[in-house]
Amino acid sequence: MHPPPTTFASAPIRWARVNLFATWSNAVLTLTGAALSLWIVAAILDWAVFSAVFTGADGSACKAEGTGACWPFIQAKMGLFMYGRYPDAERWRVDLTYVLALAALVPLMIPRVPGKLWLTIYLLLAFPLIAYVLLRGGLFGLVGVPTELWGGLLVTLVVACVGIAASFPLGILLALGRRSELPIIRYASIGFIEIVRGVPLITVLFMASVMLPLFLPGDITIDKLLRALVGVALFSAAYLAETIRGGLQSIPRGQYEAADALGLSYAQKMGFIILPQALKLTIPGIVNSFIALFKDTSLVLIIGLFDLLGIVQQSVQSDPKWFAHSTATTGYVFAGVVFWLFCFGMSRYSAFLERRLATDRR
Amino acid sequence: MQRDVSAKRSWLDPIYDPKIRGIVFQALLVIALGFLAYEIVTNTIANLKRQNIASGFDFLARTAGFEVSQSVIPYTSTDSYARAFAVGLTNTLLVAALGIAIATVVGFIVGLGRLSSNWLIAKLSLLYVEVVRNVPLLLQLFVWYIAVLRALPQPHDAKPIAGVFHLDTRGLHGPLPIFGHGWLIVLAAAVGVGLAVTYYRRAVQRQQLTGVRTPLLWPSLGLILGLPVVAFLLTGASLQFDHPVLGRYNFDGGLTLLPEFLALLAGLSFYTASFIAEIVRSGIEGVPRGQKEAADAIGLTRGQALRLVVIPQALRLIIPPLTNQYLNLTKNSALAVAIGYPDLVSVFAGTVLNQTGQAVEVVLITMAVYLAISLVTSILMNWFNARMAIVER
């Protein structure tokens, strides 16, 4: 589609002429955009390097007007941001949990590696138990660490991972229920999905934190983190159900009919024929739900849990030693970068999967 | 090889009868749900009695006794809880409506930018989308509220923008226009919109009958904007401005947009815009290439091809997910509670809940409001989709 070169201009100049200066209005746009980009780069460099404070034992060096980033703040609070108030001597347990998770997750994410079934079984059945024992402690000679001490990125990851793991089976059941031929099951599923999708996550969390204790018999008290997990899992299940329903709907009728013709029962039909195909189709959608869930975990700070954002917020607001405008900005930027790395990484992975799975379309 | 099936009937057969199975499964579900509901209700009643918390909706008529920093409708602390609820609801609707407008404009600009033939503009738009949508909204609200708006000058040091506006740590202050006959002008605008719609229908009819296209943009704009202006001039052109006056600590009078409101509006709009941009991009890319080529082939100009061929088809792909984003924005406005903007959740599920302790009623009412908004929107959307759907011949 590019016009043939009329002069013997070199390749970069030709490229610039076609892509940046094709018309007058285009040239104006390019120059405006270039000015904007330069301004952004300069502002970031100035904030992060030239006006930044790199050393200091407390916030006094960061209090000056026009200070950029306050890096010693991040350095001093790094442990807090990552583990919360998890005891220093026990933090290796958190790290070990991460290693055990990554050991299975990384091979699972690389399409070439065999043994996916065993890895999945390990991740879904064995790992949660190991992780619970390691993190919570109180067994096998490990010191117990109550969940009130958990915080920072640890809580963010726990809420996100437990949320997705718990909502996954529930989401599949709800999606199947919504497509069931039995009216009561169908309407019960529709009712749950639409109600949960119709309200903000905050109200669901409020419900979990304020109303759940009321629903249970008086002598049972449940952990604050567990309450948030229940809310997040129920909320995420409704969204996941809709994603999976999309996959179920895209399986050709013939597949259902063929399964029926073979005389398979409902459970066999779904378990061996429909769900494997439908779930494969919805993997990108599931990853997208997971990204949304990962960002939404930050809302647990509203019901008083200290996830990554919650602990950053608490540190910048209520630590008099570090109280300064530049520390607040630095804290938020740090949390933003961590969240961004996770979400962007996952969205790239989802796009990669989408390309890989779209083999039938070309 | 014929076998007599009927002879093999046994007492086990009903177990394999799909009809009976269906009834049994559903009966089990009903029993389980019923048991759950019974447990929840009895436990809740017992717990409330033990904690001495009243139940019922009588509390709505009682005096609220707390102030609200911003309200669309008149409100004082002597008003009832029901009034406080209305204040929260209108504040939610206000920020949602403005947020939707800004997010749509920004989203369309960025989405079109993604498709620009200009390399730099396309990359900058991509950068915006990838940065903004991969960071939690709550974090962005904190950044707007604390990192951006708290960095503004104090009211005394604020330099005026365009002569009359002041942006400082207390918010955005500007003159409040007071029209002599405000309702007449609103009425004229409504009449103008009505006339413009009629005019549009006529124009479409005329084109279908005769093939002649009537100019649409300027006459409709004239009707919608012109009529209020005429009404304004006819009623004596009485317009006054209530200018904010700098007091000892802050500006008094005039129109003030609080920093909480500005932060929430900016956060919601720019966050949602990044999603809208992707919807717009994929919508336009979703129009088959052949359609654009066909438009070129029958000799339409580039503008005509966009306006008459590409955009109508793209809108069909864009509007359903766009509505979803509008609903998301409305639901996300509940994050106001984190930065103290008095929206429905903050006023009602926050302050009122804490004062009355009637968690069940308050949370249920709050959820019902959002649910109602969602349901009404999806009903409208289904109606709209049915109208827009391609009629295959």
Residues B126-168 have pLDDT tens digits of: 999 999 999 999 999 988 888 777 777 776 677 777 666 777 7
A52-61 b/e (C-beta count within 10 Å ≥ 16 → b): bbeebebbeb
Look at B147 and A329 and tell me if their CB atoms are within 8 Å. Answer: yes
Classify residue B158 by its DSSP letter: P
Q: What tens digit of pLDDT does each residue of B315-350 get?
A: 888 888 888 889 889 889 988 888 888 888 888 888
Mean pLDDT computed over A36-59: 81
Residue B353 near chain A (CB below 8 Å): yes
Asked if the model's pLDDT at residue A359 lies above 60, the reply is no
Q: How far apart are CA B278 and CA B111, in angstroms?
A: 6
Given a cut of 50, whether residue B181 has pLDDT beyond it is yes
Q: Which pLDDT score is estimated for B10?
A: 67
Assess A36–B contact: CB distance below 8 Å, yes or no: yes
Across the range A255-277, mean pLDDT stands at 86
pLDDT averaged over chain B?
81
User: How far is residue B103's CA from residue A198's CA, in Å, rounded to a whole number?
Assistant: 20
Q: State residue B288's pLDDT score.
A: 87
Reported confidence tier of residue B272, pLDDT bands at 50, 70, 90: very high
Rounded average pLDDT over A302-314: 84
Of residues A256 and A116, more confidently modeled:
A256
Does the structure show a pLDDT above 70 at B209? Answer: yes
A347 within 8 A of A291, measured Cβ to Cβ: yes
DSSP annotation string for A104-156:
HHHHHHSTT-S-HHHHHHIIIIIHHHHHHHHHH--STTPPP--GGGB-HHHHH
- Could you give the CA distance from residue A137 to residue A127 in angstroms, rounded to a whole number? 15
CA distance B40 to chain A (A): 5
Q: Taking 90 as the threshold, does the pLDDT of residue B271 lie above it?
A: yes
Poorest-pLDDT segment among A251-260, B248-257, B304-313: B248-257
Tell me the β-bridge partners of A285.
none
pLDDT given at position A361 = 46
Q: Check pLDDT > 80 for residue A119.
A: no
More confident residue, B124 or A145: B124
The amino acid present at B320, given as its one-letter code, is P
Write out chain A residues lying below 8 Å of B373, CB-based.
198
**Percentage of residues in chain A with pLDDT exceeding 90?**
3
The rounded distance, in Å, linking the Cα atoms of B254 and A314 is 35
The set of long-range contacts for B287-295, using a CB threshold of 8 Å and a minimum separation of 24, is B287/B313, B287/B314, B287/B317
Burial of B340 (0-12, 13-18, 19+ CB in 10 A): middle
Q: Which residue of B has its CA nearest to A342?
A: B134
Looking at residue A7, what is its pLDDT? Answer: 55
pLDDT tens digits, A223-243: 888 888 888 999 999 988 988
- Give the domain B81-175+243-388 fold: MetI-like fold (1.10.3720)
- Which three-class secondary structure state does DSSP give residue B251? strand
Calculate what percentage of chain B has a pLDDT beyond 70: 88
Least confident of A218-232, A295-309, B254-268: A218-232
Determine the average pLDDT of the residues in A25-47.
Answer: 86
Q: Mutate one of B367, B373, B377, B378 to test the A interface: name it (highest A CB count within 10 A).
A: B367
Instruction: Report whether pLDDT(A4) > 70.
Output: no
Higher-confidence residue: A336 or B186?
A: A336
Q: Read off the pLDDT of each residue in A167-184 and give the average, rounded to a whole number.
A: 87
User: Which residue has better confidence, A17 or A331?
Assistant: A331
Q: Which residues of B225-263 are buried (b: 16+ CB within 10 A; e: fewer)?
A: eebbeebbeeeeeeeeeeebeeeeebbeebbbebbbbbb
Write down the mean pLDDT value for chain A. Answer: 81
Q: Determine whether the interchain pair B337/A183 forms a contact, defined as Cβ–Cβ distance below 8 Å.
A: no
CA distances from A99 to A131, A215, A337 (A): 11, 38, 22
Residues of chain B neighbouring A214 (CB-CB closer than 8 A): 43-44, 47-48, 359-360
Residue B107 pLDDT class (50, 70, 90 cuts): very high
B48 touches chain A (CB under 8 A): yes
Looking up tokens 């929260």, which residue turns up? B88
What's the mean pLDDT in B86-111?
90
Please tell me the distance from the alpha carbon of residue A227 to that of residue A207, in angstroms, as a whole number. 9
* Among candidates A20, A188, A339 on the partner chain, residue whose Cβ is nearest the Cβ of B139: A339
Confidence of residue B99 (pLDDT cuts 50, 70, 90): very high
Nearest-10 Cα torsion for A265, A268, A274, A278: 140
Q: What interface predicted TM-score (ipTM) does this complex get?
A: 0.84
**pLDDT value at B389 more than 80:** no
Could you tell me which chain B residue has the CA closest to the CA of A25? B118
Chain B environment of A201 (Cβ under 8 Å): 331
Pairwise CB contact (< 8 Å): B374 & A197: yes
Q: Where are the domains of chain B?
A: 6-46, 81-175+243-388, 178-242
Task: List beta partners, residue B368.
Answer: none
Q: Which two tokens stand for residue A202?
A: 């905050």
Q: Which band of pLDDT confidence, cut at 50, 70 and 90, is reported for residue A331?
A: confident
| Banded pLDDT at A362 (limits 50, 70, 90) | very low
Please state the pTM of the whole predicted model. Answer: 0.83
Long-range contacts of residues A319-323, Cβ cutoff 8 Å, at least 24 apart = A321/A58, A321/A59, A322/A58, A322/A59, A322/A62, A322/A70, A322/A73, A322/A76, A322/A77, A323/A59
Q: Does A208 touch chain B (CB under 8 A)?
A: no
* Lowest mean pLDDT across A56-70, B14-28, B125-139, B241-255: B241-255
Q: Which of A326-335, B9-18, B124-133, B357-366 has the highest mean pLDDT?
A: B124-133
Residue from the list A182, A199, A339 with its beta carbon closest to the beta carbon of B26? A182
